[in-house]
Amino acid sequence: MNVDARTMSEYYIIGPPLRSVHGLQLLVTLCRQTGQQCSMDIALVNSLPYDDFVDVFGNVVERCPIIAAAVWSGRPFSSTADLEASIYEFIDALPESGKEGILRVHPDLAGRDLQGGTLTQESREEQGQAGLDTLTAAEVSRMARLNTEYKRHFGFPFVICARMNNKATILQQLEERLGNECTREKMHAIDEVKKICRLRLHALVVQERSNKL
Ligand SMILES: NC(=O)N[C@H]1NC(=O)NC1=O
């Protein structure tokens, strides 16, 4: 991240100024850790050079910075919704192998990365919020068995928006979706990627007020 203090002071940050922090991503991380609101507006988003843009938005789709790098060319975005739509358009235009690739870089829920501490920060928070970091030994082994069965069947890991679920609904969905036909299940999984992306984006960019009453 090559945003120096002078450039940063021009940025629109909500909350107390944190001048000693170098780099927007660090700032965003710190705001998250301290629970302070720290968001960018769309004008700031549009002003970011591509390396900063990729640093900030590179994980709105888990471990797929190439998506942020690609949609950067579509600036200026008229709104957060416009940025979001560009990301979805990119995903939808991918061949099936590309969509499967997006799913395959997702970590298993309550899997090796959670246990080994190697999740991305976003994923760690999401899995924690769904209660997946406090599963009983029996729940961990049930989740592992179902995850393995799902991967063997579909060829990609089970993906669900953890923030919109809890451990009970995740286990239930895992069992239910195992029965889906493959093409339908891939579409369902990509829809979940978009839900995760939407929540991650909204944590980073201020929502424009609607003009509608
Ligand atoms: N496998 C899977 O669903 N992973 C994810 N879900 C979510 O909300 N965050 C993730 O990393």
Secondary structure string (H, E, C) spanning the chain: CCCCHHHHHCCCCCCCCCCCCCCHHHHHHHHHHHCCCCCECHHHHHHCCHHHHHHHHCCCCCCCHHHHHHHHHHCCCCCHHHHHHHHHHHHHHCCHHHHHHHHHCCCCCCCHHHHHCCCCHHHHHHHHHCCHHHCCHHHHHHHHHHHHHHHHHHCCCCCCCHHHCCHHHHHHHHHHHCCCCHHHHHHHHHHHHHHHHHHHHHHHECCCCCCCC
Q: How far is the CA of 174 from the centre of ligand 1 (A)?
A: 12
Task: Give me the pLDDT at residue 30, please.
Answer: 57
Task: Give me the pLDDT at residue 20, please.
Answer: 32
Ligand 1 close to Cβ of residue 56 (< 6 A): no
Q: What percent of the chain has pLDDT over 70?
A: 80
**Nearest ligand 1 atom to alpha carbon 160:** 3
Confidence of residue 4 (pLDDT cuts 50, 70, 90): very low
Ligand 1 close to Cβ of residue 196 (< 6 A): yes
Instruction: Report the 10 Å Cβ neighbour count for 73.
Output: 8
Asked if residue 23 lies in contact with residue 55, where contact means CB atoms within 8 angstroms, the answer is yes
Ligand 1 close to Cβ of residue 107 (< 6 A): yes
Asked if residue 91 lies in contact with residue 111, where contact means CB atoms within 8 angstroms, the answer is no
Ligand 1 close to Cβ of residue 106 (< 6 A): yes
Q: What percent of the chain has pLDDT over 90?
A: 73
Q: How far is the CA of 107 from the centre of ligand 1 (A)?
A: 7
Task: Give me the pLDDT at residue 15, please.
Answer: 44
Closest CA to 180 of 166, 191, 165, 196: 191
Q: Is the pLDDT of residue 212 over 70?
A: no
**Nearest ligand 1 atom to alpha carbon 119:** 11
Q: At 40, phi and psi to the nearest 5?
A: -105, 150
Confidence of residue 38 (pLDDT cuts 50, 70, 90): low
- Which amino acid belongs to residue 92? D
**Nearest ligand 1 atom to alpha carbon 162:** 8
Q: What does the block give as tokens for 60?
A: 């709105």
Active site residue 106: yes
Confidence of residue 39 (pLDDT cuts 50, 70, 90): confident
Asked if residue 62 lies in contact with residue 196, where contact means CB atoms within 8 angstroms, the answer is yes
Q: How far is the CA of 119 from the centre of ligand 1 (A)?
A: 10
pTM: 0.85
